[in-house]
A and B are shown apart, each in its own frame.
Chain A
Amino acid sequence: MSGREFFGARYRQLGWELRSVKPRTAIRVNTHNIDAEALIKRLHAQGVELVKVPWLDAGYWVTRTRVSVGATVEYLLGLYSVQEAAAQLPASLFTSLNRKLVLDACAAPGGKTVQLANLMKNTGVIFALDVATRRLAALANHLERCHVRNVIACLLDATRASTLGLKFDRILLDLPCSGNFAGDSGWFKRRRLSDVKRNAAVQRAILAEAVRCLNDNGEIVYSTCSLEPEEDELNVDWAVKNLPLEVAEVNCYGGEGLTQVFGVELDNSVKLCRRIWPGETQGFFICKFRRVHHR
């Protein structure tokens, strides 16, 4: 059985039929640096046509362009970032970010770090961690380009975040994951279920460590671009049963999280998560957690 058939059969069991998709290019306006209307006008003059993504505050689809949107003067000046539409959701789900102490535990290359800084209007502090210096260099370029001023970036494995000795108000866990086939033609050839299970274990370790660094009234947003339930709903189900966390309701684009996975019934609160099957966007999974005090 080919990888495509194997994973396709799994998706069918989860209620989705595998098909070819082409996610649309999207940008996110760095509204701290420019007003969206002014940017649209400037890009329009260069032949870039944008249409607002209805479920995002500062996200726009690129409907037509004569230039590379990753190489315009406006891009190089940090007025916008090229960021997939679904990937713009996680950072937007926190309540009140102003002046908060925030942890971005797996930060590089920094698209969501910049988005957080933008939402925080450069107030408070973001700790951005990554495990590789090369990836931190890419993060640093992104921060410099977008005029971010409230970030401390450290070379540190997210599973050791508590060694910072801090309690964070908000924690973004955009976790290393198996990814998905949308926009990656070789995905089915490369991926095995063993990779998925290994990634899921790492994600649990990072999530457990994040809870150790979370303030009493803190929030964690957990996201992956994996379609595999081991990295998504099954990890959330494990978290609500083993960590002092509960799933918080979110009001955003996407379908409900699955509560029946390969014959296993999960905690009912898992349906509050958001699962996005690939289509206009890449595949994505998001869960917002709050700390509970009775466990």
Chain B
Amino acid sequence: MKVVSDFAQRFNVQVRFDKRLLVTRENRFFLVNQDVKRFLPVDFYYAGTYLGKVKGNRFFPSFELLALLAKQGAYSVTVNCKAAWLFICGRDVFESGILSTRGKPSRSGYVLVLNEYGECLGFGRFSRSANGVVVKNISDVGDFLRRER
């Protein structure tokens, strides 16, 4: 599951999952607990905690994985209520909406976007421009609604 740990490293997080509890279904990755593992049939659709999927050469993290990274101190920005709303609508985050930054994300590096309650709304690419800091939206929880269309 190198693809998951490589992704986590981009947020300066070392993830350590018990390899026996990581399962793959086609191009999708799951983390299960001992109970789920014990009953897991060969042919399943979804199990335990969904971590993400690989499509082409790209890894698409789940929001569960992003939330796990947030708990482990990943690079992140905390944004105000208005910026949070705009972010989940697919918009970028501008400096005026950022309340604080955790860690030192590199230029063009990944950062999580958290709301005032520390809940993870998604992630984006951190950049600095003449107009200040911007987080370019890559993925946000509004995707749950877009998927249903």
The interface of chain A, by Cβ under 8 A from chain B, is 70-71, 73, 76-77, 99, 101, 123-125, 127-128, 133, 136-141, 143-145, 147, 149-155, 164, 166
Contact = CB atoms under 8 A, between A and B. Distances in A.
Interface stretch (B9-17, B38-46, B100-108): B38-46
A125 B36 CA distance: 6
B47 interface: yes
B46 A153 contact: yes
Interface of B: 33, 35-36, 38-41, 43-50, 62-64, 67, 84-85, 88, 115, 119, 121, 141-142, 144-145, 147-148
Contacts, number: 83
Nearest to A33: B119
Interface centre among B45, B49, B145, by most chain A C-beta atoms within 10 angstroms, is: B45
- Consensus secondary structure, chain A interface: mixed
A76 B41 contact: no
B100 to A, nearest CB: 18
B114 to A, nearest CB: 11
Contacts of B50: 140, 143-144
A170 to B, nearest CB: 14
A221 B35 CA distance: 23
28 contacts: A71-B145, A73-B115, A73-B141, A76-B141, A76-B142, A76-B145, A101-B39, A125-B35, A125-B36, A125-B39, A138-B148, A140-B50, A141-B147, A144-B62, A144-B63, A145-B63, A147-B64, A149-B48, A149-B49, A150-B33, A150-B36, A151-B47, A151-B48, A152-B39, A152-B47, A153-B45, A154-B41, A154-B44
A240 to B, nearest CB: 30
A164 B41 contact: yes
